Amino acid sequence: MNTEQIAYSSLAKANTDVLRQVLLALIVKYAYVEGDFILASGAKSSYYINCKQVTLRAEGALTLGRLLFQLLPEDTEAVAGLTLGADPMVSAVSIVSAYENNPIPALIIRKQPKGHGTKAYIEGPSLAQGAKIVVLEDVVTTGGSALTAVEKLQDAGYKVTQIFSLVDREQGGSELYKSKGIKFQALFSIQEIQQQYSA
């Protein structure tokens, strides 16, 4: 799909299939590159995905915000994620939720506690103990980043049973979450992205 042919105003009303096509096209065009790369885990890879090239674009944020909001369980009380990859995602979903008349706050999890004041790991509104939170992640590889967010939220007394990501690299993340009793769903597998890239 040629994303230039989509009027951005129409994304606010587009159905799920159109939203998925637009987001996939944006990821292939802006986020996915092939070459020789070293990942954060230290592993070598023949490709790299930088989803911030999509999530920080207005059309990307609107599209993913609508898609992810539709997937949230009805009892979701907040969305959260580990900085930096999840920051634009949780913000997008929160904004979409307000337009849908079901406002859901966003929480950002620091990698290190704030160095002053409360020295908190979690930024955002304070919620009741046991609040049900969905964790968002841009790219899941081994699953460590999102799991760090889950652990910080659980330490704060919140309940996390679901993780959503834009892309699953299918390198162990899904299995890790399953072993922890956490549901996981990705909007796209790496195979879908590579097939679209090669088309």
Spatial contact of 63 and 22, defined as CB atoms under 8 Å apart: yes
Phi, psi angles (nearest 5°) of residue 183: -70, 145
The owner of tokens 């999840």 is: 86
Q: For position 117, what pLDDT does the model report?
A: 67
Which amino acid is it at 139?
V
- Note the pLDDT of residue 10: 84
Domain locations in the chain as residue ranges = 3-198
Looking at the domain covering 3-198, what would its CATH class be? Answer: alpha beta
Question: What is the reported pLDDT for 62?
Answer: 95
Q: How many helices (DSSP H) and strands (DSSP E) are in the chain?
A: 7, 8
Q: In tens digits, what is the pLDDT along the chain, a chain of 199 residues? A: 455 556 667 888 899 999 999 999 999 999 999 999 998 778 889 999 999 999 999 999 999 999 999 999 999 999 999 999 999 999 999 999 999 999 999 999 999 887 766 778 999 999 999 999 999 999 999 999 999 999 999 999 999 999 999 999 999 999 999 999 999 999 999 999 999 999 9
Report pTM.
0.94
